[in-house]
Chain A
Amino acid sequence: MPPQIFRLVILTAGVVGSYGIARMLMVPPTFGEHGSYRGAALEELAAAKPVFSGIKACDECHSEVLEELVKFEHKTISCESCHGPSRKHAADPDVTTPKGKFADSDCLRCHQSSPSRPVWLKQVDPNEHYRGDKRCSACHLPHQPNEKP
């Protein structure tokens, strides 16, 4: 073999070899596990902690409230829709208490009349609907909206 060809072979082997070593070291270990991305990213994204506990967690202690709730119009609403995120409360009930006091604005967030809202939804214009300065809760129970208090 002529010496210049021999040198070229050595050089090519060196370049290709160092590329191979660099690639081996720099490509993340889980790259290509599911596709051309880092497979470990799935686990890392899944590792974040939830903030909302989900209605099943509420049902573990407050099942009697939920059994009542499903008999009335608000049956489709999850606890945390109104009471707020409750994972901390579900993990340790003594640490935090979910929101328990509500203003009329909380009811009107859904029930304020609007031409954009679907017709199946019960809507009110508070200026016409109120008699005097009564609050929503004076006539309506949030968990049993069909019943009078």
Chain B
Amino acid sequence: MRHVVSRRQLLGALGGALGWILSRPLAHAAKEAVQKVLASSKAPKRYDPSAHKWLMCIDVERCIGCGLCVDACKTENHVPEAASYFRTWIERYIIKKPAPGGTDVRGEVLVDSPNGGRKGFPPSLVPREEILRSFFVPKLCNLCAHSPCSQACPVGATFDSPDGAVLVDPTYCIGCGFCIQACPYGCRFMSPVTKTAEKCSLCYHRITRGLKPACVEVCPGQARIFGDVKNPVENDPIQEFIRQNRVFTLKPHLGTEPRVLYANIDKEVR
């Protein structure tokens, strides 16, 4: 038997479908408005992002490679446990002695970061006699003033906040991974939990409450100095650090203008 759809039924169905399509964005807008109210009631009050400009300084000479920062970052930001997901990590550089008879001053460069340095570093396989120089370098988001990741994001989910933090909006991220490829410092990863890009947020939930980022809080050697350049305090640690040290940025030739400044780095550090 042939099924006959009457004109009334068809128009009714079409009208219903149209109504459903139109109601979706309305419901979405309503949800957004409700979410905004809910979120703002939980968030710290009286934080104005345009009144701050955060900056991080790292003194490589003060890093002892204990990995407390890596562990604290994972705990504080609920970073996935697996050994390939880090918002901050420590690299161990080993510069070998040059081959005898050659003209080089410095030999082969080896870099490793077992589990990001989270549990400290096991003894290196390179014997002590062969090592010319070795040191640890903490790495994190470089807080680029001209961030390649924000430029690569097709949906505006990654952005440069007015206070200098480069953040990811997890509700807007579509998980395309362009930003992960764009970051020249390898500071981003795709979260296996949320399927969105994740990175160091400078512990945004902490700095907006007047706390230090977790890595800065736990660093026993004060290798990480954190401060607000717009609101210098008395004997400002950032100004003091820049006064006493010759500071550099990583990969300056890329023009990203990082606001993570490194002191006492060797030319091998990238």
Chain A residues in 8 Å Cβ range of B39: 40, 43-44, 47
Chain B residues in 8 Å Cβ range of A81: 68, 217-220
Q: Please, what's the 1-or-0 string for B110-148, where 1 marks a CB less than 8 Å from any CB in chain A?
A: 000000000011011000100100111000000000000
Contact A76:B65 (CB < 8 A) given known A43-B43, A44-B39: no
A121 pairs with B221, CB closer than 8 A? yes
Chain A proximity of B8: nearest CB distance (Å): 25
A34 pairs with B161, CB closer than 8 A? yes
Chain A residues in 8 Å Cβ range of B92: 116
Contact A54:B212 (CB < 8 A) given known A38-B172, A116-B124, A118-B135: yes
Contacting B at CB under 8 A, from A95-125, are 109-110, 112, 114-118, 120-121
Chain B proximity of A103: nearest CB distance (Å): 13
Contact A77:B220 (CB < 8 A) given known A47-B39, A48-B205, A50-B209: yes
Q: Which of A28, A55, A115 contacts B134 (CB 8 A)?
A: A115
B66 pairs with A114, CB closer than 8 A? no
Within 8 Å of chain A (Cβ to Cβ): is B204? Answer: yes
B218 pairs with A80, CB closer than 8 A? yes
C-alpha gap A77/B219 in the complex (Å): 7
- Which of B22-30, B229-237, B253-261 is near enough to bind chain A? B22-30
Chain A proximity of B94: nearest CB distance (Å): 7
C-alpha gap A52/B218 in the complex (Å): 9
Chain A residues in 8 Å Cβ range of B172: 37-38, 41
Contacting B at CB under 8 A, from A1-57, are 22, 25-26, 28-31, 34-38, 40-52, 54-55
Chain B residues in 8 Å Cβ range of A22: 25
Within 8 Å of chain A (Cβ to Cβ): is B9? Answer: no
Chain A residues in 8 Å Cβ range of B214: 50-52
A45 pairs with B64, CB closer than 8 A? no
C-alpha gap A120/B201 in the complex (Å): 31
Within 8 Å of chain A (Cβ to Cβ): is B228? Answer: no
Chain B residues in 8 Å Cβ range of A43: 36, 39-40, 43
Q: Which of B32, B44, B136, B203 contacts A29 (CB 8 A)?
A: B32
Most chain B beta-carbon neighbours within 10 Å: one of A29, A31, A117: A117
Most chain B beta-carbon neighbours within 10 Å: one of A25, A30, A115: A115
Contact A30:B205 (CB < 8 A) given known A41-B171, A47-B42, A78-B217: no
Contact A42:B49 (CB < 8 A) given known A80-B217, A109-B120: yes
C-alpha gap A125/B72 in the complex (Å): 26
A45 pairs with B26, CB closer than 8 A? no
Give B60's nearest chain A residue, CB to CB: A118
Chain A residues in 8 Å Cβ range of B93: 116
Within 8 Å of chain A (Cβ to Cβ): is B80? Answer: no
Chain B proximity of A132: nearest CB distance (Å): 24
Contact A25:B29 (CB < 8 A) given known A45-B205, A51-B75, A121-B64: yes
A46 pairs with B157, CB closer than 8 A? no
C-alpha gap A93/B217 in the complex (Å): 21
Name 14 interchain pairs, CB-CB below 8 A, sorted by A. Answer: A25-B28, A35-B160, A40-B36, A41-B172, A42-B167, A44-B39, A48-B205, A50-B76, A52-B217, A54-B211, A77-B220, A78-B220, A80-B72, A118-B61
